[in-house]
Amino acid sequence: MAGGEPGPGDEADGRAQGPSEPAGRAPAIRPFLLTAGRVAGGGAGPPLPVETQVVATSAGLAALRSLAFEQHDIVAACRRPQSVAELAAGLRLHLNVVRVLAEDLRAAGRLAVHVPNAGTTQDISVLRRVIDGLRAVPDSRDTLRDSG
């Protein structure tokens, strides 16, 4: 694939001329820079399901000081296990950017990525546990605690 092509921002939009609106365009280009133009899944497999749990490894936390920007933020946030979706929401990153970076960090041994087992949807014991757990939810919740 041609995912490594440099400078996607240069040709992303013919209407953007020179430095007239660099600030406005940055959010659109930034995700490409973060992932070197790659999109989720990298063509090597399906993208990580949104509920995939990610958690920092001890090696990842030990290497935290050497990580920069979003990679640093992801590993730091993953001291507490959370889903890819929560991570994206908490760090205000695009879901697909988090997917790519999480796979990178896994490959580097800095994150453990627990892809859900596809058989879970048909697992009767899991379904029963979810049903029992949901039944225990009271008729009204008092106050929501803030996430994150």
Partner 1 sequence: MVSVPSPTHGTHSVTAVEQPPVPVKLVIAGGFGVGKTTAVGSISEIRPLTTEAAITEVAAGVDDLSHTPGKTTTTVAMDFGCITIDPTLKLYLFGTPGQDRFGFMWDDVVEGALGGLVIVDTRRLDDCYAAVDYFEHKDIPFAVAVNAFDGEVHHNLDEVRWALDVSDHVPLIVFDARATGSVRDALLVVLEVALSRAEDTMTG
Give the residues lining the site for partner 1 (CB under 8 A). Answer: 3-4, 36, 38, 44, 46-47, 49-61, 79-83, 85-86, 88-90, 94-96, 103-104, 106-107, 109, 111-118, 120-124, 126-135, 137-141, 144-147
CB burial of 99-129 (b: ≥16 within 10 Å; e: otherwise) equals bbbbbbbbeeebbbbeeeeeeeeeeeeeeee
Q: Which is nearer to partner 1, 19 or 46 (CB)?
A: 46
Q: What's the min distance (Å) between Cβ of 68 and partner 1? A: 18
Q: Are residues 74 and 98 in contact, defined by beta-carbon separation less than 8 angstroms? A: yes
Q: Are residues 54 and 115 in contact, defined by beta-carbon separation less than 8 angstroms? A: no
Q: What's the min distance (Å) between Cβ of 31 and partner 1? A: 10
Q: Which is nearer to partner 1, 20 or 139 (CB)?
A: 139
Q: What's the min distance (Å) between Cβ of 131 and partner 1? A: 5
Q: What's the min distance (Å) between Cβ of 25 and partner 1? A: 13
Structure tokens at 118: 């596809």
**DSSP letter (8 states) at residue 146:** P
